[in-house]
Amino acid sequence: MTVICAFGMQWGDEGKGRIVDLLAANTGVVVRFQGGANAGHTVLVGDEKYVLHMLPSGVIQSSTVNVVAGGVVIDPWVLMDEVDDLARRGISLDDRLKVSDRAHVVLPYHRLMDQAMEKLRGAAAIGTTSRGIGPTYGDKTTRDGLRVADLLALRDSRDSRPSRDRLLGNVVARNEILERAGLDTLDPQTVLEDAQEVAERIRPYVTDTTEWLLDAWEAGRDILLEGAQGHGLDLDHGTYPFVTSSNTGPSAVGSGTGLPPKAIDHVLGIVKAYTTRVGAGPFPTRDEEAAGRYLADKGREFGATTGRPRQCGWFDGVLARRAVRSQGVDAVALLKLDVLSGLEQLQLGTAYELDGCRIDAPPALADDWARCRPVYSAYDGWAAEIGDVRRFEDLPAEARTYVRALQDVLGVPIEIISVGAERACVIETARGVPVSA
């Protein structure tokens, strides 16, 4: 029995979907524990491309049961459209999907509120995905939210009053803010009826996932916990306020699933061989010159959820090392090493310089973080394409040197190296990259 938590250590888009799909081949249960439809996890199998926003990336492996746990904010329309889309493509989730009755629900006013709040922030806008994530977590925290159990209760004439009244009251209150932001308002009755309708679609999958997961864990089943976004976007550890509204790593597993924190046996941190970011906020190792454009182009760096171009730059060792240490990372999966082929020289950020002082940890203020200048170590690049390489020792010497340097900066073994988007394009190094090879 093993419980693995795989999570992103940068600003999202590390390739979590690809790694979770890979690991899910040997795992019975795959769980999303935070975030929502702001995630865009891509899985490529042959010619088939799956972009998943709400469903765990384990769904493509037919042997898995997939759980959307209580820490996720669920957009029921997106979720059910994904379920229907997979069914059309021959992937049935009938007995393989469990949706938490405790998870909070993203309703139409949350998406509009996301837009309104961004508009009202003006120049300080976060650049959210407009998926209603912040407003839904906000309602959860102020105790105005509706959970999946509330959604199912909307039709029930005996028990539905509190859920229904809260929904209708929320629409009226949010309309005032929407109006102030110059956005369309919503008709409370229409919101209610749409919610009642989608509730019937989601109902067959809803259960007490905490109880289900506790039973699975106690029965010794293998469980894979799939993080969304990344450590730089973590509500507490990231570049606040330019962050998402949840904790993105293993520290969120206890509250997000109902499993005890000690259930996690192995923490796998996921990084790209370089760094990208979408939305506003600090990015010290960003490269706006030719190298950044090369990475964007070759890495096809466009957001899977919004289609926005991602800013690109060099590997940020300060951010990744902090994630390793504070989230208890045991090993790392390194993705998109193949994208670096063809660059003459690589830079690796090992520290920051702020106001003339060298610092090894991120500062608290986003404004200071944005003023940090990276301290780089330079490495020779390599010309050869490496998509067909399956053993570490067959990589070009320069690639081996660069990966070893990354491992040194991270301080934990790099166990998986991805050299292409396809399932097979992987180098596995059971105990990490050898120090000399």
Residues belonging to the active site? 13, 41
Q: Among all residues, whose Cβ is closest to ligand IMP? A: 279
The distance of closest approach from Cβ of residue 374 to ligand IMP in the complex, given in angstroms and rounded to an integer, is 20
**Phi/psi of residue 316, each to 5°?**
-100, 100
Give 307 or 356: the residue with its C-beta nearer to ligand IMP. Answer: 307
Helix axes 188-202, 108-121, angle to 10 degrees: 120
The distance of closest approach from Cβ of residue 202 to ligand IMP in the complex, given in angstroms and rounded to an integer, is 22
Q: Is 404 left (phi over 0), alpha (psi -120 to 50) or beta?
A: alpha
Give 147 or 310: the residue with its C-beta nearer to ligand IMP. Answer: 310
The distance of closest approach from Cβ of residue 160 to ligand IMP in the complex, given in angstroms and rounded to an integer, is 30
Looking up tokens 């040194």 gives: 408
Looking up tokens 């070759």 gives: 298
The distance of closest approach from Cβ of residue 301 to ligand IMP in the complex, given in angstroms and rounded to an integer, is 11
The distance of closest approach from Cβ of residue 282 to ligand IMP in the complex, given in angstroms and rounded to an integer, is 11
No. of helices (H) and no. of strands (E), the chain: 13, 20
Residue type, 63: S
Give 73 or 375: the residue with its C-beta nearer to ligand IMP. Answer: 73
Give 39 or 148: the residue with its C-beta nearer to ligand IMP. Answer: 39
Apex CA 124: angle with CA 123 and CA 127, to 5°?
A: 95
Bridge partners, residue 359, by sequence = 352
The distance of closest approach from Cβ of residue 133 to ligand IMP in the complex, given in angstroms and rounded to an integer, is 4
Asked whether the beta carbons of 390 and 414 are under 8 A apart, the reply is no
Nearest to 168 by CA among 142, 135, 146: 146
Give 168 or 181: the residue with its C-beta nearer to ligand IMP. Answer: 181
Token readout for 164 is 């229904």
Apex CA 269: angle with CA 342 and CA 231, to 5°?
A: 95
Residues that bind ligand IMP (CB under 6 A): 12-13, 38-40, 126-129, 131, 133-134, 228-229, 233, 242, 244-245, 278-279
Q: Which residues of 43-72 are buried (b: 16+ CB within 10 A; e: fewer)?
A: bbeeeeebebbbbbbbbbbeebbbbbbbbb
Give 38 or 209: the residue with its C-beta nearer to ligand IMP. Answer: 38
